[in-house]
Structure 1
Amino acid sequence: MSERPILIVEDEEKIANLLADYLAQAGFRSRVLLEGTEAVEVVQTERPALVILDLMLPGKDGLAICREVRQFSQVPILMLTARVDEIDRLLGLELGADDYVCKPFLPREVVARVKSILRRISVGAVAAGQAGERSYCELSLSEQNHQCRVRDEPLPLTPVEFRLLATLMEQPGRVFSREVLMQRCYPDDRIVSDRTIDSHVKNLRRKIADQIPGEERIHSIYGVGYKLE
């Protein structure tokens, strides 16, 4: 298990303590905050392994915390929400949630989601000592050389396709909104449409499929965006 704690930001003390107990049984340390005012500062200073964040909080709500944290950190965020209408927004990187659990929930479900998020981040992590390189399953990227390889064979990509794949490989399993992908693929802030990103994804899928027939790596999440899995 991670040596860094899980940060629980939940204003219902019974729920927060229950989650802390279940996480402890699973081998995780945790810290509890009962309101949102200090959450961003705690993320900055303590660098938790993951944040469990309630949507509705006194002091500062979960959406505001997500926005601020994402300005300096990609720490995984698991959102707790009773507002089903917010789910599409929560899953976009604009607001920063990696996953969500709807209230009411079973504590075991939250622990299972925590394990799943940390596991997929570990799988997609940059190999030690290989700064600027990412790997996931049969895919590998070298940002220094601007090269992509699939099953150790070179895969020619356009600059936009390379930035698109590099973004998706930052956190396999995480859903990236089209808006965020546009920002990452076009850092000069040019105006492009959702269809432009869809076209690049289609081309990238085709190139990967040519070398890995019958296996789809990039998945569409209806109304939200794309993820690598």
Structure 2
Amino acid sequence: MRKTSILIVEDDKSIAELERDYLEASGYRTDIADNGETGLEKALGGQYDLIVLDVMLPKLNGFEVCKHIREEVDIPVLMVTASSEDIDVIRGLDFGADDYITKPFKPAELVARIKAHLNRYERLKGRKSEYGELEFRELRIDPESRRVFVRDEEIVLTVKEFDLLYFLASHPNRVFNKVHLFERVWGIDALGDTQTVTVHVRKLREKIERDPPNPSFVETVWGAGYRFRA
């Protein structure tokens, strides 16, 4: 049986080796790249199931690596940042990262995050949707091919942007708070930051709404959460 394969892109040798040891002890096969250029080359050329990507890298930073990965590969990307500043977190999510973790972190937490993302991704790939194709006015969502069309033009979404849109559209006119959305879409309980939801909603609106500041599909219900208006 093929082992789940993870690429670690990290220029700090001691951190990369620690991450590798914990992941291999958990049954994963790992590769390490110590700079952005090598990491991108490996990510696009290898058969990896998830990428752990540091932000501060020589030659090519993690944001640029993530951007190029997202243009070619549809797998979870977990970004590692040494800063908890909102701007760094938001930039990583803007470039297509599925989640982030801030240094210093416990290796066991990293392993837990990775397991959660991999399990969620596998369930989504193998699951037949009970709702089938959804269509609301000019928006059409096909869960089998994971494609989205607005006014008959295909819109490219990241993995989590699609998951978030499909979950909301599958439960029209219901309000979900950020914690609920994070648990249902990211599949991680109490390990992440609900700011991830906020950023993904913003990016989603930029792609599917005619007027993102005044959305007609994904609405904000102030003090309560978000709602898909059918």
Does the alignment reach a TM-score above 0.5?
yes
Deviation at 1:172, TM superposition (A): 3.2
Deviations 1:66-95 (A, max 9, x none): 11111112221111111222112323xx31
- 128, 135, 140: which one aligns with 2:131: 140
* Number of residue pairs the alignment of both structures matches: 179
State the TM-score, normalized to the length of structure 2: 0.66
Aligned counterpart, 1:160 = 139
Equivalent of residue 195 in structure 1, options 214, 217, 220: 214
Aligned match for 1:177, one of 189, 200, 225: 200
1:60 matched to 2:60? The reply is yes
**Which runs of no fewer than 5 residues in structure 2 stay unpaired?**
142-147, 150-160, 168-183, 187-195
Matched, 1:96 2:96: yes
Show the counterpart of 1:47: 47
CA separation of 1:47 and 1:194: change in aligned 2, threshold 3 A: farther
Contact 2:206 2:212 in 1 (8 A): no
Q: Within 5 Å, which residues of 2 pair with 1:202-217?
A: 202=219
Code of the residue aligned with 1:201 in structure 2: it is V
Partner of 1:12: 12
Amino acid at match of 1:70: R
Cα distance in 1 between the residues matched to 2:36 and 2:42: 10
TM value normalised by structure 1: 0.66
Output the amino acid matched with 2:89: I
> Alpha-carbon deviations, 1:126-185, whole Å to 9, x = none?
44xxxxxx52xxx5333xxx56xxxxxxxxx33427449955349932846245323542
Contact 2:163/2:185, CA 8 A, preserved across alignment: no
Partners of 2:82 and 2:162 in 1: CA distance: 33
Assess, with a 3 A threshold, how the Cα gap between structure 1 residues 10 and 182 changes in structure 2: closer, same or farther.
same
Letter in 2 for 1:160: L
Name structure 1 gaps, 5 residues minimum.
Answer: 128-133, 148-156, 206-218, 221-225
The one-letter amino acid of 1:75's match is I
Structure 1 segments of 4 or more deviating over 3 A?
A: 161-167, 169-172
Q: Report the 3-state secondary structure (helix = DSSP H, G, I; strand = E; otherwise coil) of the residue aligned with 1:141.
A: coil
Distance 1:167 1:33 in 2: 29
Aligned-residue Cα RMSD (Å) equals: 3.2
Distance 1:195 1:48 in 2: 39
- Secondary structure of the equivalent of 1:31? strand
Distance between the aligned counterparts of 1:42 and 1:103, measured in 2? 24
The alpha carbon displacement at 1:202 in A equals 4.0
Aligned-partner Cα distance in 1 for 2:131–2:2 = 25
- Asked whether the 8 Å contact 1:2–1:49 carries over to 2, the reply is no
In 2, the alpha carbon distance for the partners of 1:160 and 1:72 equals: 24
The percent of aligned pairs where both chains have the same amino acid is 31
Aligned to 2:34: 34
Q: Deviations over 1:5-47 (max 9, x none)?
A: 1000011111101111100111111000111112222111113
